[in-house]
Structure 1
Amino acid sequence: MSEEPSRLPRLTLARQIRDSLVSRIVSGQVRPGERLVETRLAATYGTSQAPVREALRELEAMRLVETQPRRGTFVRPFVQETLRESYVVRAALEETATRLALLAGTVPVEALRADVEAMRAAADLGDGEASARASVSFHRRVVEAAHNELLKRTWESLQIEARTSVTMVATEVDLHDVARGHAELLAAIEAGDLETACRHARDHQWHYADLPHDAHGRAREAAG
């Protein structure tokens, strides 16, 4: 594989291998269609095949790779593009869910507050996976509060947990910023300002779409 990373310590865990591979796949260092060979990866990272195998299973759950019978494990095509596209679609779905839930008065505010607190605690501990779980929980509660089964199924089909984990690893987000962003969204929801809350819900997802402009058509550099 191209541009091999520095050899990791012998005590590395499968998660560290997984995170390294996520970064390399999303950055394009490992190309779509490239085969990931356990023995080569084990040699690259200076470990046995067992943690490599576990890391590849997690990458498959994240839908970054696919295992083909009798052929091996390969990087899925269009990883970067589908990540960007999923956040644009998710922005539209969650804006609509927020509108429906607020109009119906079904937003589970206390549960959302608990999720934000969980994100703050995860940020203090530097626990990205706990932060991702709390974030997904927060957004799922809003989607479920919309009481629209088609919207919910469409949202679930985006593989939200997997894509959130990928984003957390690949972009090295500041976990405290994640908590603050959700707290701002919750504040808008609690204030009951329908249009402001919907705008926050949309912009919150569009931020991760990695496009040259934001949801309002402003260039990223100019949006500040």
Structure 2
Amino acid sequence: MTSDVPPPIPFPTAAPEVSRMTLAQQIRESLVVRIVSGEIAPGERLVETRLASVYGTSQAPVREALRELEAMRMVETRPRRGTFVRHFVQQTLRECYVVRAALEETATRLAMLAGTMPIAALRAEVKAMRAATRSGDADAAARASVAFHRHIVDAAHNELLKLSWEALRIEARTSVTMVAADVKLKDIAREHAELLKTIETGDLEAACRETRDHQWHYADLPHDAHGRARRNAS
């Protein structure tokens, strides 16, 4: 449980892409990290006025951030009582990655069949991930990872699929996963490089399978997408 007045939490380090984040998004990102790390405990009430004071802003961006967290099922609003951190946040993450795996597998299939897979853009994002690994920039690695997958979703040219994917709040959930799973930057670059290599071979089924497995891995279920038991699943 946090104290009544937690210390100010710094926003992500400024960078070209980060600077385009709204204040509400920055607050959301900070709260995501604090919730997943356990600094803000399950069941704890999030008070708008208190958070506004912590982040040095008005209540409006805090309210917007809490609405986004509710859409992500990380918090819940109880009538006449306020907003509280949900229990079972890890279960919410698992559900997200199973759905994301299905969406991105379909996007990969559509893009490869249509011949619209943006290989050059994917290579650029892998290069950015490797640069982020060398500099130890977790924010840059996360941005490049999200961009990599967004390129594939865009290339599918299916607006409903894209809207469903965006509704998962991919940027925020990527930040959550990096904290919750203690993801190593070198692993991010390596996994995406391997996925890109498979896509470049033109093997449709292998690329779809690896795309699905890439996301299913983070669902952290007792079995993988093929029904095989995992020894280290939680």
Establish whether TM, by shorter chain, passes 0.5: yes
1:49 aligns with 2:59: no
Equivalent residue for 2:10? 13
The verdict on how the C-alpha distance between 1:36 and 1:15 changes in structure 2, with shifts beyond 3 A counting, is farther
Aligned residues of 1:38 and 1:52 also touching (Cα < 8 A): no
Q: Within 5 Å, which residues of 2 pair with 1:85-124? A: 85-124=95-134
Find the aligned partners of 2:91 and 2:56 in 1 and give their Cα distance.
28
Q: Which moved more, 1:106-115 or 1:25-34?
A: 25-34
The secondary structure found in structure 1 opposite 2:231 is helix
Find the aligned partners of 2:93 and 2:57 in 1 and give their Cα distance.
24
Q: Within 5 Å, which residues of 2 pair with 1:1-224? A: 1=1, 13-15=10-12, 22=32, 25-26=35-36, 30-36=40-46, 49-50=54-55, 60=66, 61=68, 63=72, 64-65=74-75, 73-221=83-231
- RMSD after superposition: 3.5
Letter in 2 for 1:205: Q
For structure 2, the residue ranges without an aligned partner over 5 or more in a row are 14-26
For structure 1, the residue ranges without an aligned partner over 5 or more in a row are 42-47
Q: How many residues are matched? A: 213
Find the aligned partners of 1:24 and 1:161 in 2 and give their Cα distance.
16
Q: Which moved more, 1:176-185 or 1:58-67?
A: 58-67
Find the aligned partners of 1:50 and 1:23 in 2 and give their Cα distance.
15
Find the aligned partners of 1:104 and 1:19 in 2 and give their Cα distance.
35
Find the aligned partners of 1:138 and 1:93 in 2 and give their Cα distance.
14
The verdict on how the C-alpha distance between 1:18 and 1:144 changes in structure 2, with shifts beyond 3 A counting, is closer
Q: 1:68-123 CA deviation, whole Å, 9 max, x = no partner?
A: 89865521454221111010011011111111111111001001100111111111
Find the aligned partners of 2:220 and 2:38 in 1 and give their Cα distance.
15
Letter in 1 for 2:143: R
The secondary structure found in structure 2 opposite 1:221 is coil
Aligned residues of 2:35 and 2:41 also touching (Cα < 8 A): yes
Find the aligned partners of 1:178 and 1:35 in 2 and give their Cα distance.
34
Find the aligned partners of 1:53 and 1:130 in 2 and give their Cα distance.
28
Identity %: 68
Q: TM-score, normalised by structure 2?
A: 0.74
The verdict on how the C-alpha distance between 1:158 and 1:22 changes in structure 2, with shifts beyond 3 A counting, is closer
Find the aligned partners of 1:131 and 1:86 in 2 and give their Cα distance.
20
The secondary structure found in structure 2 opposite 1:100 is helix
Aligned residues of 2:101 and 2:215 also touching (Cα < 8 A): yes
Displacement of 1:32: 3.5
